[in-house]
């Protein structure tokens, strides 16, 4: 199959992010086709047929998510999740910087399908260039009648409101994101009710990731079935994968689902830094359990395959770790992150993530004691499944994964009071 590209189908130049350039590559034709010739339900069915699954981490089928919303409800909201904060993930930022119009077009099409009058983009507060590019694009789109009142001269009107975050990782969690837009500290909420039933200001709300929504124009332009034919049977289409860590050419790649991890690391990224051996791969963002080289030998990049290997495709952030890296100190970097980002609402996550960080930090300073590893495992058991949002699980999974795959390194550190690898993270 020749390579189909939903994102990387143009050269990045000084003005490739503009409306004129986007139009030149076929932009806003899907919107025209939808608004002038399709019913909202046809759009939803096309998305269902595409098999598109959410790109924010959980991989929930997008068309199905849309179908949960009661379209008779007088007010329905759409929120684009652009809080991109999962360590190892840097794809949404690329979309904003290079093709914001693609997201805007996707959001207007989605809003038409969902009967949304006001939609939101919750964009990470630190993002500056992405924000400016988005605001420029929105201004262009409004002036061209592509956003706002009577879009393209039809009866359909929809605004896009851009809301900047305040620097909290947990606000990427969908219910926390809504609480944050409502003007409160971003505490996640218990589910059910799910946002599709009671979301923003208690109204039915769809939350989708940037990449998910930016894929919609391609699906409507080319047909759901065409999209479904790319990738694997259960995981269709292409996806943006960000590779970071110890590779020669890190960066962002668009690949069909089902692509090989090994090919990505050794061919696309030019192999491991300094010609070193591969030690481990975190396959889908920092919270996904770490895999050994033997486990990625034939592994493909689709949700089912990675799950069968005991991890998750997540947000597509592939973190590559070379031989010689100290896994104890690396886990400390992650445990510090989760302890810092726990919102503090529920006890197991608030206390547990802090305890785990204390213990792992102690071990990584050579002060670990016998029983520490069992204590860590006990804490993860206390957290998982017992919290309001999935951050608790996200904090626990790396701990379990590291202890399972690299237990000897932790035991060595506790016994000898020092790292097997001189505490190295950098290669």
Ligand X SMILES: Cc1cc2nc3c(=O)[nH]c(=O)nc-3n(C[C@H](O)[C@H](O)[C@H](O)COP(=O)(O)O)c2cc1C
Q: List contacts with ligand SF4 (CB under 6 A).
A: 170, 188, 342-346, 349-350, 387-389, 391-392
360: contact with other proteins by CB under 8 A: no
Provide the minimum distance between the beta carbon of 394 and ligand SF4 in the complex, in angstroms, as a whole number: 9
Three-class DSSP labels, 102-166: HHHHHHHHHHHHHCCCEEEEEECCCCCHHHHHHHHHHHHHHHCCCCECCHHHCCCCEEEEEEECC
Contacting other proteins (CB under 8 A), which of 32, 126, 304, 351? 126
Contact map string, positions 176 to 215, toward ligand X, x by CB under 6 A:
-------------------------------xxx--x---
Beta bridge pairs of residue 244: 319
Contacting other proteins (CB under 8 A), which of 63, 242, 283, 352? 242
Structural Rg of the chain based on CA atoms: 22
Provide the minimum distance between the beta carbon of 248 and other proteins in the complex, in angstroms, as a whole number: 12
Residue with tokens 């069915």: 45
First to last CA, the chain: 37
Contact map string, positions 210 to 239, toward ligand X, x by CB under 6 A:
--x---------------------------
Q: Name the percent of the chain in helix, strand, coil, to the closest 5.
A: 45, 15, 40
Q: Which residues contact 145 (CB under 8 A, 6 or more apart)?
A: 151, 152, 153
Provide the minimum distance between the beta carbon of 398 and ligand SF4 in the complex, in angstroms, as a whole number: 15
339: contact with other proteins by CB under 8 A: no
Q: Among residues 37, 14, 10, which one has the least CA distance to residue 24?
A: 10
Could you give the CA distance from residue 401 to residue 291 in angstroms, rounded to a whole number?
A: 8
319 vs 389 by CB, closer to ligand X: 389
Contacting ligand X (CB under 6 A), which of 10, 23, 29, 58? 58
353: contact with other proteins by CB under 8 A: no
Contacting ligand X (CB under 6 A), which of 109, 160, 319, 391? 391
100 vs 345 by CB, closer to ligand SF4: 345
Picked from ligand SF4, other proteins, ligand X, none, the partner binding residue 113 (CB below 5 to 8 A depending on kind) is: none
Cβ atoms of 405 and 325 closer than 8 Å:
no
From the number of C-beta atoms within 10 Å of its C-beta (0-12, 13-18, 19+), residue 374 rates as exposed
Picked from other proteins, ligand X, ligand SF4, none, the partner binding residue 208 (CB below 5 to 8 A depending on kind) is: ligand X
Picked from other proteins, ligand SF4, ligand X, none, the partner binding residue 90 (CB below 5 to 8 A depending on kind) is: other proteins
Contacting other proteins (CB under 8 A), which of 23, 118, 234, 276? 118
Q: Which residues contact 191 (CB under 8 A, 6 or more apart)?
A: 175
Contacting ligand X (CB under 6 A), which of 46, 105, 140, 174? 174
313: contact with ligand X by CB under 6 A: no
Contacting other proteins (CB under 8 A), which of 243, 264, 379, 403? 243
β-strands 159-164, 238-245: how paired?
unpaired
Picked from other proteins, ligand X, ligand SF4, none, the partner binding residue 387 (CB below 5 to 8 A depending on kind) is: ligand SF4
Residue 183's alpha-carbon distances to 140, 196, 281, 342, 343, in angstroms, are 28, 20, 38, 19, 16
Could you give the CA distance from residue 84 to residue 123 in angstroms, rounded to a whole number?
A: 8
- Determine the Cα angle at 232 with ends 44 and 216, to 5°: 30
Picked from other proteins, ligand SF4, ligand X, none, the partner binding residue 345 (CB below 5 to 8 A depending on kind) is: ligand SF4
136 vs 304 by CB, closer to other proteins: 136
What is the footprint of other proteins within residues 244-303 (CB under 8 A)?
Answer: 244-246, 250-252, 282, 286
Q: Alpha carbon 241 to chain centroid distance?
A: 10
366: contact with other proteins by CB under 8 A: no
Q: Among residues 244, 412, 242, 243, which one has the least CA distance to residue 329?
A: 412
Contacting ligand X (CB under 6 A), which of 107, 291, 388, 390? 390
Residue with tokens 């001269």: 153
Q: Which stretch binds ligand X (CB under 6 A): 55-63, 275-283, 293-301, 400-408?
A: 55-63
Could you give the CA distance from residue 147 to residue 152 in angstroms, rounded to a whole number?
A: 8
In this structure, what token pair is assigned to residue 73? 């409800």
Cβ atoms of 79 and 177 closer than 8 Å:
yes
Cβ atoms of 77 and 120 closer than 8 Å:
yes
Interface ranges with ligand X (CB under 6 A):
54-58, 60, 81, 83-86, 170, 172-174, 207-209, 212, 389-391, 394
Interface ranges with other proteins (CB under 8 A):
84-90, 92-93, 118, 124-129, 161, 163-169, 180-186, 201, 242-246, 250-252, 282, 286, 317, 319, 321, 325, 330, 333-334, 336-337, 340-341, 425-427
């Amino acid at each position: 199959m020749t390579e189909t590209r939903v994102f990387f189908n143009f050269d990045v130049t000084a003005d490739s992010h503009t409306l004129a350039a986007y139009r030149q590559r076929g932009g806003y034709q899907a919107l025209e086709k939808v608004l002038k010739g399709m019913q909202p339900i046809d759009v939803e069915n096309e998305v269902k047929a595409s098999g598109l699954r959410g790109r924010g981490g959980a991989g929930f089928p997008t068309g199905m998510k849309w179908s949960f919303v009661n379209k008779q409800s007088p007010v329905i909201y759409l929120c684009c999740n652009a809080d991109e904060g999962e360590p190892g993930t840097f794809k949404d930022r690329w979309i904003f910087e290079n093709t914001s119009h693609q997201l805007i077009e996707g959001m207007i099409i989605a809003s038409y399908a969902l009967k949304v009058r006001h939609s939101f983009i919750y964009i990470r507060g630190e993002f500056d260039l992405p924000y400016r590019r988005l605001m420029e694009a929105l201004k262009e789109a409004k002036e061209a009648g592509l956003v706002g009142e009577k879009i393209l001269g039809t009866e359909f009107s929809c605004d896009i409101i851009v809301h900047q975050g305040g620097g909290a990782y947990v606000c990427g969690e969908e219910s926390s994101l809504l609480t944050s837009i409502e003007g409160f500290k971003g505490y996640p909420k218990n589910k059910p009710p799910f946002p599709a039933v009671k979301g923003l200001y208690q109204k039915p709300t769809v939350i989708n990731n940037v990449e998910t929504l930016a894929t919609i124009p391609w699906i409507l332009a080319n047909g759901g079935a065409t999209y479904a034919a790319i990738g694997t049977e259960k995981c269709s289409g292409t996806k943006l994968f960000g590779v970071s860590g110890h590779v020669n050419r890190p960066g962002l790649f668009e690949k069909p689902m089902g692509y090989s991890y090994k090919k990505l690391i050794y061919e696309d990224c030019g192999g491991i830094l300094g010609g070193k051996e591969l030690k481990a791969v975190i396959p889908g963002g920092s919270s996904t359990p770490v895999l050994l080289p033997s486990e990625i030998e034939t592994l493909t990049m689709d949700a089912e395959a990675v799950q069968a290997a005991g991890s998750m495709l997540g947000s597509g952030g592939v973190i590559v770790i070379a031989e010689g890296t100290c896994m104890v100190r690396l886990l400390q970097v992650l445990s510090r992150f989760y302890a810092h980002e726990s919102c503090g609402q529920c006890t197991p996550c608030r206390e547990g993530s802090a305890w785990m960080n204390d213990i792992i930090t102690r071990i990584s300073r050579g002060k670990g004691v016998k029983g520490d590893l069992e204590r860590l495992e006990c804490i993860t058991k206390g957290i998982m499944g017992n919290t309001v949002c999935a951050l608790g699980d996200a904090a626990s999974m790396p701990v379990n994964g590291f202890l399972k795959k690299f237990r000897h390194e932790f035991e060595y550190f506790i016994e000898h009071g020092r790292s097997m690898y001189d505490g190295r993270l950098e290669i």
